[in-house]
Structure 1
Amino acid sequence: MKIVHTLFLITLFLSTSSCLSKNKAEKTVAVQSEQSDVSKKQTLTEAELQQYETAYFASGCFWCVEAIFESVKGVQEVYSGYSGGSEKNPTYKKVAYGLTRHAEAVEVYYDPKAISFTQLVQVFFGSHDPTTINRQGPDQGAQYRSIAFYKSEEEKKIIEDYIAALTAEDVYQGRPIVTEVEKFDVFYKAEEYHQDYERKNPNNSYIQNVSIPRLNRFKKNFASFLKEESH
C-alpha cells in the first residue's frame, strides 16, 4: 500500500472519530461486574507461536486494540497486557488507577510473509489518534498513552520514518504526534478475562459505544488489511 493512500485513510479515520464521555471508574466497575464465564481463549501452542514474529503497541484501551489487530490479515494471535513501565507483574487494578508506569498494550504475533512490520505500524497509526497526550477517546491517564515499541534499530527506523512522513504530510493538521517510540523490554499478559474481551462481552456499554465503533471505522477505512472473515 502506498503511503499517500494510507495517509488519506488515517485522515478519514480521524475525521469520523468521536470522543464519548466515560470515566475510568465506570470502566473499572464494568470490568468487575462483567467477567465472562466463557471458556479460556483458544490460543496457539507455544511451539506454534514461536514460528511467528512479535510486535508491541499501546494505543488506548487494550480491548479495542486487541480486536483491531486480530482483524488484520497475517496476524495469528493477539494478547492484551501491560508494557512500558518498570514495575514487575502489574495488575489491571494498579495499571487502571495509574499506580504504575505501564500502559495497556498488545502483543501481536504475525506472519512476516503475510504482513510486514511496516504495515503493522500503519495499522497502529491508522486506528487511533497519536496526537493526544495520555488520552485515547474517553480514556485518560498515562496508562492509555500512545507507544510504538521496537525490538531492533530497523524497527525503530521504520516507526520514526513513518512519523516523519505523517508530519511532512500534515495529516494531523498542525497537531504534533506525541507517540512514544520506545525500545521493547517486557510484556505482561493481562488477566484472562481481558483476553478477547470485546468478543466475550458484546453487550458491555463500553464495548457498544467505544470499542465496536472504533473497530468498524478501522474496517471501513482499511479494508485491504482485513482477514476474509473480518469483512
Structure 2
Amino acid sequence: MKIFKIVTAFTAIVLAIVLLSFSQKKEEKRKEKSVQTSSETKVAYFASGCFWCVEAIFESVYGVEEAVSGYAGGHTKNPTYETIGTGSTGHAESVAVYYNPKKVSFQTLVTVFFGSHDPTTKNGQHPDYGSQYRSIAFYENQEEKEIIENTIIKLNKEVYDGRIVTEVMRMDTFYPAEEYHQNYERLHPENPYVRSVSIPRLHKFKRKFPKLLKKEEE
C-alpha cells in the first residue's frame, strides 16, 4: 500500500512537470512569433487605441516591414487579451513596428503615430475606452525619447494648445498578442467593427499622409 502511494505521488509530480513544461513552451511560442525582416530592421512601439487599427495603419507606411499587435506598458507578466481588458494589468493594446531606418525614420513613425489618432483623449480612442486603449509613445534610448518629447512640444504649441495626454514611456517588455489578433483587419474585412471603425480610420490616415504610403506593388 505504501509503495502504491509513493508511485501515485511520483506519477502526479511527473504529470505536473509535464503540464508546466507544456504551458511554458506554449507561452514561449507566443512570445517568439516569427517576423520576417531584413538585417537592418529596427523596432518602434506605440499604443493608440485598438491594435487592429494601429497595426493596419503602420503596415501601410513605406519602410515598415511588419507590425505586430501586442501588450505593453503594464506591471504584470504574460498578459492576455482577457486580463488587460480588466484594466488590472496596466497594459495597453500596443504595436511593435518593424522598420528599415534607411527607408523611414523614427521621427516619421512618431509623426504617423500622432497623425493617426487623437492624442488629447485620455484612456481611449472612440469608440473604445479604458486604460488598455490609452495613448503611449514608447522609447528605447535617449534619442528616441527626445524625438517624442520634441514632437509633443511642437504639436502642443501648433495644433493642440497643450492638451496632449500621450504618455512617454520607456519600453520594458512587449508581449505579442494571441495569434488570432494578428493582421486582423486584413483577414476579417467583413467584421462589423473593422468595417465601421478600423477601415475608416485607415482610409482617413491614407488621405492625410499619401506621400508616406507604400506603393501598390509592395
Query: What TM-score do you get using the length of structure 1 for normalisation?
Result: 0.77
Check if 1:94 corresponds to 2:46: no
Q: How does 1:142-153 map to 2 (within 5 A)?
A: 142-153=131-142
* Compared CA separation, residues 141 and 230, structure 1 to 2 (3 A): farther
Which structure is higher in RCO with an 8 Å CA cutoff and minimum separation 6?
A: 1
CA displacement, residues 107-155 of structure 1 (integer Å, 9 cap, x when unaligned): 0000000000000000000000000000111100000000000000000
* Compared CA separation, residues 104 and 55, structure 1 to 2 (3 A): same
Structure 1 CA distance for aligned equivalents of residues 130 and 138 of structure 2? 19
Aligned length in residues: 186
In structure 2, the partner of 1:187 is 174
Is this contact kept in 1: 2:40–2:101, CA < 8 A? no
Of the three residues 146, 153, 163, the one matched with 1:176 is 163
In structure 2, the partner of 1:18 is none
Is this contact kept in 1: 2:50–2:128, CA < 8 A? yes
Kindly name which structure, 1 or 2, has the bigger radius of gyration based on alpha carbons: 2
Is this contact kept in 2: 1:71–1:230, CA < 8 A? no
In structure 2, the partner of 1:107 is 96
Structure 2 CA distance for aligned equivalents of residues 56 and 49 of structure 1? 18
**2:205 aligned partner, one-letter code:** F
- Using the aligned pairs only, state the percent identity: 60
In structure 1, the partner of 2:144 is 155
* Compared CA separation, residues 91 and 213, structure 1 to 2 (3 A): same
Structure 2 CA distance for aligned equivalents of residues 129 and 147 of structure 1? 12
Question: Please, which runs of 5 or more residues in structure 1 have no aligned partner?
Answer: 1-41
Structure 1 CA distance for aligned equivalents of residues 116 and 34 of structure 2? 24
Structure 2 CA distance for aligned equivalents of residues 182 and 204 of structure 1? 32
Query: What TM-score do you get using the length of structure 2 for normalisation?
Result: 0.82
Structure 2 CA distance for aligned equivalents of residues 198 and 43 of structure 1? 19
In structure 2, the partner of 1:199 is 186
**1:189 aligned partner, one-letter code:** P
Q: Following superposition, which runs of at least 4 residues in structure 1 exceed 3 angstroms of deviation?
A: 42-45, 48-51
Aligned-CA RMSD value:
1.7
Task: Using the TM superposition, give the Cα deviation of residue 98 of structure 1 relative to its aligned residue in structure 2, in angstroms.
Answer: 1.8
Is this contact kept in 1: 2:44–2:106, CA < 8 A? yes
**1:205 aligned partner, one-letter code:** P
* Compared CA separation, residues 49 and 98, structure 1 to 2 (3 A): farther
Q: How does 1:121-160 map to 2 (within 5 A)?
A: 121-160=110-149
**1:177 aligned partner, one-letter code:** I
